[in-house]
Structure 1
Amino acid sequence: MKNTLLALTIAAASSATFANSPLPVKYGQPAPLGAPVQAAQSHTTYSPMKNVSLNGGYTGSMIDEGDVKLRFKGWELGATYFLNEKGGVFAKYEQQKDELKLKEFSLGGVYNFYDEKNVYINGTAGLGYAWVDGSSEGDSVDLEYLTIPVGVEVGYKFTPNFALYGGLGYKWLYNQQAEACLDGECYDAGKLSELDVNGTTYRAGLRYNF
């Protein structure tokens, strides 16, 4: 895979919340004396997601674009701020690794589709910037990408503040800079559309709400 990127780069270079509300009061007739009293069923349900949350966990990507086939695996750290009960913003940093190493920072929007019975479903879309590099036997490649990540996250709140989450998504990576060094000679190819790639993303981890 790394040799494919090197060859492509060199070839191209050489050719050119939730708010508090009062409890509802229901007026009615008192139950008659001696009437049986029904026991209330207990079911713990936590409130909708709070304004701010931090998350961390495992993340991966499956890139398949022509001769480029990568299986990145790594970790992510992120933060989310909900402006209201439905919409908010997120920021995330992640590192992944296969034959090449990837570092990415992204920002975007979050929309809450569902939040009932301790289960929530969020959709995300954003923009990011990624740095990809690798080296082997003196040869190296350094790439920079503008990224467009989209995804869906499903979580389960097992306490008011903690939730387990899993997510699936898709990511487009558009090359912004490419440089390769081969046998002691380095080639700066600039921006190469031949190195644009895309693929499926997946993630799982723990979210802390406060």
Structure 2
Amino acid sequence: MKKTLAIATLSFISSLAFADKPLPIQYGSPAPLGVQNAQNNHEPQSISAPYLSNITFNAGYVGGMLDKEDVKLRLKGWELGATYFLNEKGGLFAKYEQQKDELKLKEFSLGGVYNFYDEKKVYINGTAGLGYSWVDGKDEDAELELEYLTIPVGLELGYKFTPNVAAYGGLGYKWMYNQDSEACLNGVCYDAGNLSELDVNGTTYRLGLRYSFR
């Protein structure tokens, strides 16, 4: 597969040539009791708690079936991600994943999350984003390095065992647009730049656990 992609790439190349302030000292009668209580209630932990309650972390298994003509990738690997909910319905996610078949893929993506359903321990989220991936592979006399701009979309179904821990599964689709490609055969390397002939797309799937601070 790696040699086939390297030869195909070479053929495409040939065809395309605040600081702290002192407290004022007040003399006279003490402040009303209610004012003192309000001042004493401002503790440091009350600032961070609302932000943590909107964050979830996830980790799990991820795979993909990416095809185009004679290019077929069956990738399997793992993912780590985090989601920040701006409100009850929507938020933002960031994710890093590594997968491999005959080729190795590393990808970082960012995007939006929308909650379609969240009742009785079950939730359904939709996601859409942008990512960038690095794909590489080596053979005895062939080496290939590719870079892609990716557009991943998907649905995630989750079940909450507790208010903080949930198991999830997801299905999605990913478009991968080649941004750079380099192929080496017998020690001779060629930089082809971006080649639309190397664009691929296909189905993705995920399984894992999600932890919430809520």
TM-score range relative to shorter protein: 0.7 to 0.9
CA distance in 2, matches of 1:78, 1:202: 15
**How many aligned residue pairs are there?**
177
* Larger helix proportion of the pair: 2
- What's the offset of the Cα at 1:138? 3.0
Counterpart residue identity of residue 11, structure 1: S
The residue identity in structure 2 corresponding to 1:121 is I
Asked if 1:167 is matched to 2:170, the reply is yes
Give the one of 25, 49, 66 matched to 2:69.
66
- 1:205 paired with 2:208, answer yes
Q: Match for residue 176 of structure 1?
A: 179
TM-score, length-normalised on structure 1?
0.83
Deviations 1:151-198 (A, max 9, x none): 000000001100000000000000000000001110100010000000
**Structure 1 residue 121, shift from structure 2 partner:** 0.1
8 A Cα contact 2:184 2:190, kept in partner? yes
In structure 2, C-alpha distance between the alignment counterparts of 1:139 and 1:68, rounded to whole Å? 16
Q: 2:195 aligns with which of 170, 192, 196?
A: 192
Q: Tell me which of 133, 147, 151 is aligned to 1:130.
A: 133
- Cα separation, 1, equivalents of 2:75 and 2:142: 20
CA distance in 2, matches of 1:110, 1:85: 11
Matches of 2:2 and 2:184, distance apart in 1: 12
* Residue 107 of structure 1, CA deviation: 0.1
CA distance in 1, matches of 2:100, 2:197: 22
Question: Aligned with 1:190: secondary structure?
Answer: coil
Residue number in structure 1 paired with 2:3: 3
Aligned to 2:39: none
Residues 3-27 of structure 1, C-alpha deviation per residue, up to 9 Å, x if partnerless? Answer: 22112210111122xxxxxxxxxxx
Q: Residues 30-179 of structure 1: matches in 2 within 5 Å?
A: 51-179=54-182
> Structure 2 counterpart of 1:4, which letter?
T
Letter in 2 for 1:2: K
Q: Which runs of 5+ in 1 are unaligned?
A: 17-49
After superposition, give the CA deviation of every residue in 1:46-90 in whole Å (9 maximum; x if it has no partner): xxxx51100000000001110011100000000000000000000
| Structure 1 position 122, deviation (Å) | 0.1
Question: Structure 2: which 5+ runs fail to align?
Answer: 17-52
Cα RMSD (Å): 0.7
Q: Deviations over 1:99-148 (max 9, x none)?
A: 00000000000000000000000000000000000001031000000000
Partner SS for 1:168: strand
Counterpart Cα distance in 1 of 2:176 and 2:5: 14
**Normalised TM-score (structure 2):** 0.82
